[in-house]
Structure 1
Amino acid sequence: MTQSATALRDSGRDQDFLAPAARLRGAGIGGLEELTDLERSERLARMRSGELGSIHSWELVTAVDGPGTRMTIFLNGCPLRCLYCHNPDTFLMKDGEPVEAEELLRRMRRYRRVFRASQGGITLSGGEVLMQPAFAARLLAGAKSMGVHTCIDTSGFLGANATEEMLEDIDLVLLDVKSGDEETYRKVTGRALAPTITFGDRLAAAGTEVWVRFVLVPGLTDEPRNVENVARIVERWRSVVSRVEVLPFHQMGTDKWDALGLDYKLKETRPPEPELVESTREIFRSHGFTVH
């Protein structure tokens, strides 16, 4: 693990974990026990051990975030600041609710029949799931022990936080490749591209199935040269990439940026025209990938 990755990991784990009285939410954590009376020091200790996590919300979805019906859990905390993020309320770990891993695992057990019938499972998303590696590892191991299909949705930037043991408990990775050239990647995320490539290389070496995701933003990520560079990166992982998803940019997160008092730089950006979406997908098809 690099020094910078270690620093990011440690700083992410040690963020103030106390949730404020009022904040934005997604689908919510209905039905999950809220641990609001624990002392801050105990919360942080339990978080480091993976017993406790900072959760934005969870929901049951079908044909999204992986195959079948899935319990998608959104974790708080992310090292990236993507210009098009539609969940800016997950940027900070302190803005989440403290929830026990065991409580989430009990919830998973209730849905095992649904998962089996639909060939679904659980997906850990965010924010960035690898911001809370011990908590994620506990959830993934628990799900695997139940025979539940497991998936994580990640940028790969904190891929160094994923241990070999964790990778063994992951059936599918939704890997967000946000740009194919360094300059555009840094403009989109504020971070470097290299860690994503390194993580993708590890997944390919481990034989872990990958769905690559690429967000198409007019005037930002849509240059054919940039898309071609993404496709060339993904070719490194051809043996494990079963599909590429081109996701058209949308404005559904604008209200969250406004409510949080954040400067949303893409207010004037329109969703891509169907012709642009199709031509972008065709670039990936020309490299031999199944594209959605």
Structure 2
Amino acid sequence: MAFAAGAVTPAGAALYPESRPVTGTVHSWDLSTGVDGPGSRFVTFLSGCPLQCLYCQNPDTMRMRNGRRVTVDEVVAEAAKYRRFIQAAGGGATISGGEPLLQPVFAGELFHRFKHELGYHTALDTSGYLGDRATDALLRDVDLVLLDIKSWDRATYRKVTGRELEPTLDFARRLAELEKEVWVRFVLVPGLTDDPANIERVAAFAGSLGNVSRVDVLPFHKLGEAKWEALGKPFALHDTPAPTPEQVAEAKALFAAEGLTAV
């Protein structure tokens, strides 16, 4: 029996039973603390991304072919190994990438199992560009969305990602309508996204939504440069410096001015 987008599934039941076993392409999984949602997290990195961000620190996740096919059962079994530790640490499970919504059925089934079978707090780490692929059923099993808003200026957004901004803004508005908790992520890149007017517009938009509980101002870094080189691709921001502590503080202040908690 198929479950419609608005249907309620029994706890622990497969969200997409007609597709069993559900498989997806995964780059890797890992444990993290504090950067992928609250507490200690089991993070599943899916392969494939429609964006081509200039500062991507994991360019090896951009192509689906760089991952491996696994079943939902395999991922859930791995996540279950850390259940006692994760629950004691007030953590949960995060699906990242790449872009999770490039594989919405697989991501949706993972979220359903993480939440109802393991009892984990769940987080979706996304650019929002493919937000229209996230069904209401998928989002019901997501407790927190980590939403990247990379720039307000449309030309800068296209330069950074190769894509358009509007789908991300549409998804943000939908999450607000659903009263889904959001952490906005903003990467501060000197000479690219650090114009105060640009930051002010992102801050004003985030502050208007009513469901943004935190903003992560992420200083640009070059930790992914070696991965770009290993792939035989130039790192376009090789000569771009990291922002100074003062620049980071100024950006946080602009978000705080809109009543947002910036960290």
Contact 2:46 / 2:61 at 8 angstroms: preserved in 1? yes
Q: Encode CA deviations 1:140-198: one digit per residue, 9 max, x unaligned.
A: 00011121110010000000010000010000000000001211111110100000001
Which residue, out of 177, 182, 202, partners 1:205? 177
Q: Encode CA deviations 1:80-100: one digit per residue, 9 max, x unaligned.
A: 001100110011111101111
Which residue, out of 125, 134, 137, partners 1:162? 134
Deviation of residue 73 (structure 1)? 0.8
CA distance in 2: counterparts of 1:154 and 1:236, whole angstroms: 20
Q: TM-score, normalised by structure 2?
A: 0.90
Contact 1:50 / 1:134 at 8 angstroms: preserved in 2? no
Deviation of residue 284 (structure 1)? 0.3
For structure 1, the residue ranges without an aligned partner over 5 or more in a row are 1-47
Deviation of residue 219 (structure 1)? 0.6
CA distance in 2: counterparts of 1:126 and 1:216, whole angstroms: 20
Which residue, out of 251, 260, 265, partners 2:236? 265
Deviation of residue 263 (structure 1)? 2.3
CA distance in 2: counterparts of 1:234 and 1:119, whole angstroms: 26
Matched, 1:129 2:100: yes
Q: What one-letter code is carried by the residue in structure 2 that aligns with 1:164?
A: D
Deviation of residue 232 (structure 1)? 1.8
Contact 1:185 / 1:192 at 8 angstroms: preserved in 2? yes
Contact 2:207 / 2:259 at 8 angstroms: preserved in 1? no
Q: What one-letter code is carried by the residue in structure 2 that aligns with 1:256?
A: K
CA distance in 2: counterparts of 1:109 and 1:225, whole angstroms: 45
CA distance in 2: counterparts of 1:50 and 1:197, whole angstroms: 34
CA distance in 1: counterparts of 2:153 and 2:206, whole angstroms: 13
Which residue, out of 232, 241, 253, partners 2:224? 253
Matched, 1:66 2:27: no
Percent identity for Structure 1 against Structure 2:
52
- State the match for 1:13 in structure 2: none
Deviation of residue 110 (structure 1)? 2.2
- State the match for 2:212 in structure 1: 241
CA distance in 1: counterparts of 2:43 and 2:21, whole angstroms: 18
Q: What one-letter code is carried by the residue in structure 1 that aligns with 2:130?
A: L
Which residue, out of 124, 132, 135, partners 1:152? 124
Q: What one-letter code is carried by the residue in structure 1 that aligns with 2:208?
A: R
Matched, 1:120 2:91: yes
CA distance in 2: counterparts of 1:256 and 1:240, whole angstroms: 35
- State the match for 1:183 in structure 2: 155
Matched, 1:78 2:78: no
Q: What one-letter code is carried by the residue in structure 2 that aligns with 1:76?
A: S
Q: TM-score, normalised by structure 1?
A: 0.82
Deviation of residue 106 (structure 1)? 1.2
CA distance in 2: counterparts of 1:88 and 1:150, whole angstroms: 24
Deviation of residue 109 (structure 1)? 2.1
Aligned length: 244
Which residue, out of 143, 162, 178, partners 1:171? 143
CA distance in 1: counterparts of 2:34 and 2:88, whole angstroms: 14
Q: What one-letter code is carried by the residue in structure 1 that aligns with 2:180?
A: T
Deviation of residue 50 (structure 1)? 7.0
Contact 2:127 / 2:149 at 8 angstroms: preserved in 1? yes
